Amino acid sequence: MLGGKNILLGITGGIAAYKTTFLVRLLIKAGANVKIVLTESASSFVSPLTLATLSKNPVLSSFVNEEGGATDWNNHVELGLWADLMIVAPATANTLSKMASGTCDNLLLACYLSAKCPVFFAPAMDLDMYKHPSSIASFKKLKSFGNIMILATSGELASGLHGEGRMAEPEDIVKFINGHLQKGLPLSGKKVLITAGPTYEAIDPVRFIGNHASGQMGYELANAAANLGAEVILVSGPSHFTVSHELITLRKVISAEEMYNEVHLHYEAIDVAICAAAVADYTPKTVATQKIKKKESEFSIELVKTKDILLSLGNQKKDQFLVGFALETENELENAKVKLKKKNLDAIVLNSLNDKGAGFGKPTNKITFIDKNSTITPFELKTKAEVAKDIFDEILKRYHA
């Protein structure tokens, strides 16, 4: 949710400011761009140098840079417009009161009043301060402006008391913001199942039958679905690609049989399923328990068909929106349409090995999206990340929860 987002972090003068080093690290790890504004008193609790090092941006605390000339100033309007979201953490009683009343006596408050983006605030103060009518009034007024409050938690406070007022932990702040951003996205609350990569069918302990699929298309589809708010289960055969999005759960498998079992374990609860894996059509009838020695000039392996995962999902389909992939080398459209109907799909994604830049092991793909009403939508050659977005754009035009 935070990948590529510009985040303006405002830090005020409370003991909980020390936690912001961990918060910045988590935001950067999530792929966000972070700029930081401190109030004057905040620098007593956390080092600007530490925050600058973690965020890879200068830390600002005043309107005019001390070492600069008369025109060397920190433009609060530009900062407010730059931000996709602003976080004030910790938000002290003093700063919250000023935010609520419109007081503007430091750079942080000027940035807040200039911000056009969602503003999150995480209060941090002692127990009696947190429950004081003036603080409660500030919370209420700030929320009426559209700001989002990240509730303080109970715990040991700096005063030695135990109760409400402790700033939410950095991990919980990031989780809260992710959850808020997820709401309202097209696939928020939906579960998406995606298969990716090849399968390896064992011949003996060291050899297998496989193919050249890298898994990249499936992994990009998983990222695209998660960015649309979906909870994603990615069932992947052997692949060097990894996942980092918190909404993606990766299930690693090796063989077609393992992929079949894993997919069916989740399918009943799924809203959208996309089978992008290059599953082996055949598997050795018997698997040697020891490495097969090279003896004869000729060697044959008896193969049997694997279970057709996509066909089985089509047969069991209830309300799921089911999408398959077809990699063809001849009679592409005709073969894809036959597969679409035979396997009871809602849509099929056709790629042809005859198209330059498409197919296995390449960072690009060229697809044609075909739905069950035989509407054909061709696309130009694009990166697989762009292709994944195109596929979900087409799905969203047709999928009705």
pLDDT band with cut points at 50, 70 and 90 for residue 8: very high
Q: Are residues 119 and 214 in the same domain?
A: no
Q: Are residues 32 and 87 in the same domain?
A: yes
Q: Are residues 210 and 341 in the same domain?
A: yes
User: For residue range 374-385, what is the model confidence (pLDDT) as tens digits?
Assistant: 999 999 999 999
pLDDT band with cut points at 50, 70 and 90 for residue 239: very high
Q: Are residues 35 and 163 in the same domain?
A: yes
User: For residue range 145-176, what is the model confidence (pLDDT) as tens digits?
Assistant: 999 999 998 877 777 767 788 899 999 999 99
What does the pLDDT read at residue 211? 92
User: For residue range 301-339, what is the model confidence (pLDDT) as tens digits?
Assistant: 999 999 999 999 999 999 999 999 998 878 889 999 999
Report if residue 137 sits inside a domain: yes
Report if residue 212 sits inside a domain: yes
Q: Are residues 36 and 164 in the same domain?
A: yes
pLDDT band with cut points at 50, 70 and 90 for residue 355: confident
User: What does the pLDDT average to over 369-373?
Assistant: 96
Q: Are residues 167 and 21 in the same domain?
A: yes
Q: Are residues 125 and 261 in the same domain?
A: no
CATH number at residue 16: 3.40.50.1950
Checking if the pLDDT of 125 tops 60, the result is yes
Domain final position from 127, 157, 182: 182
Into how many domains does the chain fold? 2
DSSP state of 53: H
pLDDT band with cut points at 50, 70 and 90 for residue 66: low
Q: Can you read off the two tokens belonging to residue 95?
A: 């700063």
- Residue 276 CA to residue 217 CA, distance in Å, equals 7
Q: Percent of the chain beyond pLDDT 70?
A: 97
Annotated catalytic residue 33: no
CATH number at residue 382: 3.40.50.10300
Q: Are residues 336 and 222 in the same domain?
A: yes
User: What does the pLDDT average to over 216-241?
Assistant: 96
Domain final position from 153, 182, 211: 182
pLDDT band with cut points at 50, 70 and 90 for residue 127: confident
Domain of residue 108 covers 6-182
Q: Are residues 313 and 206 in the same domain?
A: yes
Domain final position from 164, 182, 200: 182
Catalytic residue among 6, 75, 211, 335: 211
What does the pLDDT read at residue 76? 87
Q: Are residues 154 and 230 in the same domain?
A: no
Report if residue 279 sits inside a domain: yes
Q: Are residues 249 and 102 in the same domain?
A: no
Q: Are residues 60 and 80 in the same domain?
A: yes
What does the pLDDT read at residue 70? 54
User: What does the pLDDT average to over 276-289?
Assistant: 96
What does the pLDDT read at residue 200? 97
Report if residue 362 sits inside a domain: yes
Checking if the pLDDT of 401 tops 60, the result is no
Which range among 65-79, 178-192, 198-212 shows the weakest confidence by mean pLDDT?
65-79
Report if residue 1 sits inside a domain: no
